[in-house]
Amino acid sequence: MRIALAQINTTVGDIAGNEQLIADRIEAAREQGAAVVLLPELAITGYPPEDLLLKEHFLADARAAIDRLAAQTRGIVAMVGFPERDSTNVYNSAAILRDGAIAHIYRKVHLPNYGVFDEQRYFASGPRSGSSIDVNGVRLGLTICEDIWIPGPPETIEARDGARIILNISASPYHVGKGLEREAMVRKRATDNDAAFVFCALVGGQDELLFDGQSFAVDRRGDLIARAPQFVEHMLICDVDPDGTGRTTQIAPLLETDEEIYAALVLGTRDYVTKNGFEHVVIGLSGGVDSTLVALVAVDALSADRVTCVTMPSRYSSEGTRGDAHALAANLGVELLELPIENARTAYDEMLAGTFNGREPDLTEENLQARIRGNLLMALSNKFGWLVLTTGNKSEMSVGYSTLYGDSAGGFAVIKDVPKQLVYRLVAARRRRDPQHDPVPDTVVTRPPSAELRADQRDDDSLPPYEVLDAILEGYVEEDLGREALIARGLPPDDVDRVIRLVDLAEYKRRQNPPGIKITEKAFGRDRRVPITNRYRG
Amino acid sequence: MRIALAQINTTVGDIAGNEQLIADRIEAAREQGAAVVLLPELAITGYPPEDLLLKEHFLADARAAIDRLAAQTRGIVAMVGFPERDSTNVYNSAAILRDGAIAHIYRKVHLPNYGVFDEQRYFASGPRSGSSIDVNGVRLGLTICEDIWIPGPPETIEARDGARIILNISASPYHVGKGLEREAMVRKRATDNDAAFVFCALVGGQDELLFDGQSFAVDRRGDLIARAPQFVEHMLICDVDPDGTGRTTQIAPLLETDEEIYAALVLGTRDYVTKNGFEHVVIGLSGGVDSTLVALVAVDALSADRVTCVTMPSRYSSEGTRGDAHALAANLGVELLELPIENARTAYDEMLAGTFNGREPDLTEENLQARIRGNLLMALSNKFGWLVLTTGNKSEMSVGYSTLYGDSAGGFAVIKDVPKQLVYRLVAARRRRDPQHDPVPDTVVTRPPSAELRADQRDDDSLPPYEVLDAILEGYVEEDLGREALIARGLPPDDVDRVIRLVDLAEYKRRQNPPGIKITEKAFGRDRRVPITNRYRG
């Protein structure tokens, strides 16, 4: 039994485009001798379509596309995800297309409603009794994504009429190491149920979510017999026997952790830019490690000729950072504009002198500099149609160490879910890739981090050292631990209290930040929904 | 049977403060001879606590507060909402406190997971079999909010062991006319079930949500026998007999529609400002109708001495709008700062001249003016600790007729859910209240709307007339209708296509806007979750 897994990159809302992509893959699978081809969960609409699912005409358009695909499907059985409207409910369903018609519909049972997921907002559950189809006399069990994450029906062979091959179509968002988590889970399911599992994954970026691909198949013993590469479209061919044994076809190697994260950022950035119709991006380049990483990712995602960098020096910009910004841009082959900000700074100082009436400079003036830079980048965006990529990392975003409407101003926040220490690791990974043509000046990573918004400023003037900060943040933000649990880990109580307070108070800023790519277990945004008005501390 | 409904204004996360408020109300109800006192849904945590519910220590703190309240409760039965942790799940529960202990716990059955609600993210459902308590030999059925919105168990008397008095504790967010919707629904439930219903509501603002109060009771015939006023804390005393009949105690009159909406904006603004610890707000006053409404609301919410207005004229500001801004500020008795923006404008023009290299002025320069104003307001905010109230209305937000980081920059967007035509109605309603001291110059409402960002600009240069725009937006945004359905309503096809496109393209801007008060059936924000990356049109 040859089963083809079409790991495709859909676009949300592009029903016509997705339909064409699916039709092409069905045909390609047929040509490769597959009896069955799988397409990802909700392939016809893209995932997640969110509140588009509340539009009746959207559901009707999606159904019409499935009907057209069915009519064209000959000589192969295709399993395609789509939102199914019946008289009372909407289901997250898979259509089985064969012989020119919809032969069967399977409805997802387990609807995730945690983390980034809102599926119970849209869908009703299918019956737990499960379902299966027969293809060439072989029984195949049907499941969608979450159905196989929860032990018990419908993923069991009992609920699949004894099928020893279980098909699964998924749209499973990435975080670090998620691919191996999926494989480990499915291998366990296979041995528990004494059945082969075939897992077809979505690939591509959608707003804050990134789908990493890595479709795969395991035999009934839980051994991997096929795996598609990460972060690219692919057609994975699996050969599985009716009894759940199989032969190895292709097992793509996995990227090392930091390379994997870097690849996630590249694909997430490329897809956000191109799916939203932008040709070109612009980045404020400070000479620091954060904007360096964003520039590296942007060039790898789009090529150098589609990236413009801007250096916007002030009286506090050091020769070192300015020089590094120029060197990096030159090494990458990207255009670099230089727009000094002192003129505007002076104008604001004069405009506000009467109102501020001799008060000492403070954060106000620091923020104004960051906002002038934000304005300049947005002016370039407005004039030339470029998308502004922002450069704030997760550690800064967490504690509000950024200027709202300043450095956080832009369309896409590439590294908003990357903690500061990981920023360094990712730059190092990128430099290792081709040491002969390393574009990054050493001083970018050896200089102590500074926002350069006042004289002799350093991040560690106002924040704990990043190794402490990142450890507190991981516990507080990603694990929902409280003060006592963090202190019990050996973290300094004063830093814990301060960081908790800063994280809570910065929620209003994060709510106004652009989207960026989720790479950790819990990203800011729809993954972590906390109130702004909130008196709880800890 | 005397039942007291404690309509209180809780603060999310302020467990100690809410506990004290609840203890005070229990004591007050006892002194008024009530046998039972109801507190709102999740009263101990505030509503909605969102992802605070994922913190185990938060749940433990809430439980400890309920235990303390129970120990103090003598001579009265109290029903208090709290998040209940058992070994496997969390429930949205009501504790029945009596004789110094938790005598009973009721678990909410129907968990809303649509619109602004995410309750299935946090809670498991209680059993549909329902439950009841006996007080002085009278059987009382227990329900929480949504439980009585869906016909059938658990709100039926069959599921309540024959109780002819059904208690309900709620946290039901406001939209226009919601109070009467609730009353109509509950009156129908009463006659359907031949039982009295007693409905205790939350009051107060929480980020984008506003709870309007208006607790009430109906007898078994569905007749109203008690109603608390809207938008204020109140203790409503209800006298209900064991057979579900009752006597009228107090029926507060309802506000007329526009007065009701205005009152919602006032309370929502006051609570956001004070619950977040601000003493003072600042508003950019253009002399237009939008900023006029925001200034009126702010003064009514906080008093004139806690409001500063700023007029920031440019070369395009007319004498008319400048004069109106000054007159309004003087009439309201608020401080008015004047900060002309031409200096900064010139500085930006010079800084960008080389890069823009003789290109014609366009939206770029208009946006820069709005951003300079945003920067000045944020500088005042930074220097003096003031909260910036933004002045964009829903019609503008819908079509992106605003400048990101410009006029949309600030902490709270008072009228973001108020369509333009309603803005005029609300200003008119406020002016009618005391015509002898009407603070609003007539020209504010008679002058054609303009952003004044270029010479002789008018809103209707780039947008359909507001009566057409608002009609399209109501259908497209609030009702999820598509192109064909809108055209079938008689709306111009060209305008429909254009507005749909503008609404979809502006999603990235709205994602970066501050929160504001939901007053319509569907507000932007958590009420309407659409993807930014989205190729679907219609």
Give the CB-side neighbour count of residue B25, counting CA atoms within 13 A: 30
Least confident of A233-247, B76-90, B459-473: B459-473
* pLDDT tens profile A187-199: 999 999 999 999 9
Question: DSSP letter at A525?
Answer: B
User: Which CATH number among 3.30.1330.10, 3.40.190.10, 3.40.50.2300, 3.40.50.620 corresponds to the domain B259-459?
Assistant: 3.40.50.620
CA angle, residues B53, B56, B58, in degrees to nearest 5: 60
> Of A494, A344, A355, A117, which is closest to residue B118 (Cα–Cα)?
A117
Helix (H) or strand (E) holding B2: strand B2-7
Among partner residues A114, A348, A538, which is closest to B57 by beta-carbon distance? Answer: A538
A2-254 carries CATH number 3.60.110.10? yes
* CB-based contact, A50 to chain B, within 8 Å: yes
From-to residues of CATH 3.40.50.620 in chain B: 259-459
CB B132 within 8 A of CB B125: no
* pLDDT tens profile B41-97: 999 999 999 999 999 999 999 999 999 999 999 999 999 999 999 999 999 999 999
CB contacts under 8 A, A 155-214 vs B, are 205-207
Q: Provide the edge-to-edge strand list for the sheet that holds B101-107.
A: B101-107, B90-98, B77-85, B36-38, B2-7, B234-240, B246-247
* pLDDT tens profile A265-303: 999 999 999 999 999 999 999 999 999 999 999 999 999
Among all residues of B, which ones are annotated catalytic?
41, 108, 145
Residue of B nearest to A14 (CA): B535
End-to-end Cα spacing for chain A: 55
Would the CB atoms of A383 and B17 count as touching at under 8 Å?
no
* CB-based contact, A112 to chain B, within 8 Å: no
* pLDDT tens profile A104-130: 999 999 999 999 999 999 999 999 988
A30 CB-near residues (< 8 Å, 6+ apart): A37, A75, A76
CB A334 within 8 A of CB A303: no
Backbone angles phi, psi at A292, to 5 degrees: -65, -45
* CB-based contact, B20 to chain A, within 8 Å: no
Q: Does the reported pTM lie above 0.90? A: yes
On the question of pLDDT at A462 being above 90, the answer is no
Backbone angles phi, psi at A464, to 5 degrees: -65, 165
The question of whether A145 is a catalytic residue gets the answer yes
Distance between CA atoms of B519 and B269, rounded to whole angstroms?
A: 13
Which of A405, A454, A511 to mutate to test binding with chain B, by most B CBs within 10 Å of its CB?
A: A405
* CB-based contact, A357 to chain B, within 8 Å: no
CB contacts under 8 A, B 126-145 vs A, are none
* pLDDT tens profile B368-422: 999 999 999 999 999 999 999 999 999 999 999 999 999 999 999 999 999 999 9
Backbone angles phi, psi at A537, to 5 degrees: -125, 125
On the question of pLDDT at B159 being above 90, the answer is no
* CB-based contact, B370 to chain A, within 8 Å: no
Helix, strand counts (H, E) of chain B: 17, 20
One-letter amino acid at B468 equals V
On the question of pLDDT at A460 being above 90, the answer is no
Distance between CA atoms of A214 and A173, rounded to whole angstroms?
A: 11
* CB-based contact, B508 to chain A, within 8 Å: yes
Would the CB atoms of A383 and B356 count as touching at under 8 Å?
yes
A56 CB-near residues (< 8 Å, 6+ apart): A85, B480, B482
Distance between CA atoms of B155 and B199, rounded to whole angstroms?
A: 12
Contacts of A347 in chain B (CB under 8 A): 343-344, 346-347
> Of A202, A186, A183, which is closest to residue A44 (Cα–Cα)?
A202
* CB-based contact, B89 to chain A, within 8 Å: no
From-to residues of CATH 3.60.110.10 in chain A: 2-254
**Per the residue annotation, which of A19, A84, A119, A145 is the catalytic one?**
A145
Would the CB atoms of B352 and A57 count as touching at under 8 Å?
no
Is residue A456 very low, low, confident or very high in pLDDT (cuts 50, 70, 90)?
A: confident
**Cis status of the peptide bond prior to B361, with omega within 30 of 0:** no
> Of B179, B123, B126, B124, which is closest to residue B155 (Cα–Cα)?
B126
* CB-based contact, B488 to chain A, within 8 Å: no
Mean pLDDT over the full length of chain A: 96
Contacts of B118 in chain A (CB under 8 A): 113, 118, 121, 529
Residue found under tokens 């596309």: A65
End-to-end Cα spacing for chain B: 55
Backbone angles phi, psi at A332, to 5 degrees: -80, -15
Would the CB atoms of A339 and B347 count as touching at under 8 Å?
no
Residue of A nearest to B482 (CA): A57
* pLDDT tens profile B178-206: 999 999 999 999 999 999 999 999 999 99
Could you tell me whether strands A203-206 and A209-212 are parallel, antiparallel, or unpaired per DSSP bridges? antiparallel
* CB-based contact, B54 to chain A, within 8 Å: yes
Distance between CA atoms of B474 and B395, rounded to whole angstroms?
A: 10
Contacts of A48 in chain B (CB under 8 A): 531
Helix (H) or strand (E) holding B134: strand B132-135
> What ipTM was assigned to the predicted interfaces of this complex?
0.96
